[in-house]
Structure 1
Amino acid sequence: MLQASIGLLVLGFYHPLLLLFDVLLISSIVFILFVMGRGAIRTAVSESTAKHAVAGALEELLRIPITYKLAGASEFARARLAELSGNYIHARRNHFRVVFSQQWGAVILHTVAATTLLTLGGWLVIEGQLTLGQLVAAELIVSVALLSFVKFGKRLEAFYDVAAAADKLATLMDQPLEEDSGESLIPNNAGVDLELRRVSYRYMSGNDCIKDFSLSLEPNAKVAVSGPRRSGKSTLAELVTGLRHPDSGVVLFDGVDLRDIADVSIRSQLELVKDLEIVEGTILDNIRLGRSDVTATQIRRMLDRFGILEEITELPHGLRTPLSSTGAPLSRSTVLLLMLTRACVCRPRLIVIDDALDQIDSDSLSRAMTVLTDPASPWSLLVFTNRPDVVVAMDKIVQLDSPALQGKTGKLHTNRAD
């Protein structure tokens, strides 16, 4: 394009009419790029969004295949995919229309400009205002300039695709980040001294979930929190681990307000076991999670304590067996024990378990509780559960007698018993 621009500048010195031709030619190029290309980036983004929506629907089909195989669900899936595919085709058509018009505009401009220059230059040669050599040079300059523009036009679609990709990255990068300011906790080999003082939390809907709740967890204590459904157990687990912050009251971690501690420092000293969270990688990857200080020997020892080492060793690839996001080929109970292994192997100062133990079979639970409640373990343990055989194995019990009521304010009462 730089070579073409210099050539058109030279062409303007041949004759005033050729200078006018330059102006019209450049104006036509600007018209094709910015007027005919108006909306190109917008339609490229719309096309990309529609394409990802189709891909997301296909991934959902693979994620919950049984649901879609039930009576009527297959028709729903087909109709949904048809709608999303139609949206994609419509978006693709709109974008193609813009790109196609630009490319045809470039080709038409090439043809018209070359013909016009040949006619105008021939007349100027006949009138003696332009030499034949200058006419040939002018034709070559314009041909090179327009061929460069036509080639550039073919790259426009790639540019629009890059713009759409940049928009997707911007959507990701513009998400608000957690603030990572605050002090660091001093490393300690003992369990966490945890205290909640008159903690209250209200959902965005305005419903009170937790009101004036207090709890004290001494270092290395093993405490169970039990209560009916919708009593705020899961929310309380997230408040304890710093994933949520109370509307009032304070959560103290070794006597320090949780809000004054850097998130990285908090999370390096605790583990939360909640829903099934499996990385699509090997069993070893899922336990180690990039922590280079966790050795394979430590992992095998902890797997053996939880009673699943033999089952994993019998797999064709052992610890190198790849897992899907659902944990396959392992059973759900084994996957939960794997997550407990992940939590314990790094010897954190606090382990919080939210409902995970309620989903494990009795035999596996017995071994898991032996590991979790071991007096020699370096962690404090806080378990949210309604399972009696879990509750009786703990040092203390906290009973949430009053559930969070919809649209009403309710207090959470504690009943501690050694």
Structure 2
Amino acid sequence: MESIYNQLCSIVGNDHVSNNEYINYSYSKSADPIYQSIPDYVIQPSSPEEISEILKIANKEKVPVVPRGGGAGLMAGAVSHRKGIVLDMTSMRKIIDINIEDQVVTAECGITWAELNTELFKKGFYTGCMGPGSGMSAVIGGGLSHNSVGGGGGAKYGSCCRHVVGLEVVLPQGAIINTGSLASKYIEHPFSRYGFGADYSGLFLGDNGIHGIKTKATLRIYPKPPYHAGKTFALKRSNMKYGVNIFLEWLNKGGFGLYDGFYFPDYFVMGMAAMNPPTYFPWKKLNKTAIFYTTEAYSEQELEANVENLDAIVTKNKGTPLGPEIEDGNFAKYHYEMDGHWSFYHNTFGIPTGTQSLTTEAHCPIVRFPKVIDGVDKWAAKHAEAFAKIQTIGGIPA
């Protein structure tokens, strides 16, 4: 019987298949510290048809398959648990169409959020929610597989899956399907996710690649407002309820162009202050929690009104503004203007020397946030003795 390796090579060519352990080892983990197993094969397809043939071979040989994008996940979703085949999707990174009239973009799912939005920026558009906070390396297929948020625009647009118009997916047995409006043979250009029968797109969103291999995605795009501003404030930790009040009032009063809003617990502020980038030096003396917002507008007058309203709500809830510049500790400015939304997590993971991050993004009602933080505090107190055995690293209690 022909070897699995030779069968895979016959589909994509010898240069795009590896059964070498020293190469495949780099696919045995992602950005998290969880080691799974070294895959038997790594293959880089370039079309849905090739993926279809690969899956047919995998079914025939009873070999597990794991799709992998940028490997930027933090919960081992992009690594093989039982060896088998890892599909490296990063060769499929073309932008198929930017349709300004219908305000959608269609791209292959191996393109990163940063690559895609960089091209959209040139035309004055963006994807609204711009994926996860690792968008410099995370691909759109991975973001949709995890229902990602955090890479910019979450407060205004919600998670990235909300903006899916349609998908091209290769099912586990090798069939290639389209969802949304492209499922209809009478429609040439995708424009809507709904109205064409059941919402099959939803089966492949947040599925971690289990239900099928996403090869193309059509996403809603939005005009990028020409004006923006952002401010960062200090809050006392004992006044965490004020942070909740701020977010709720911002949203309940219409958002005032709110693009992003972040709340940083005091231990996170301590960690950020201990990092080397000068962005966080002013936080060394903060010794408090922090909150920031960014807002967008289509005119200077609108922007001024947004800032005035947002500031008033924070000030009413005991917030103290930091300075306007990055050097003053204005994290909001860095987050929006310096691509901080795609890279500040990378810096954060390097706070304690010799460690790796094991985190995830969780969806939580705003009013329950204090309870979540309280639960973290109680858990830390319960394990205080174990933590005490770990040396203090970089001035931060481990």
Instruction: State whether TM-score is above 0.5.
Output: no
Relative to its length, the structure with more strand (as a share) is 2
Could you tell me the TM-score, scaled by structure 1's length? 0.21
Larger Rg: 1
Relative to its length, the structure with more helix (as a share) is 1
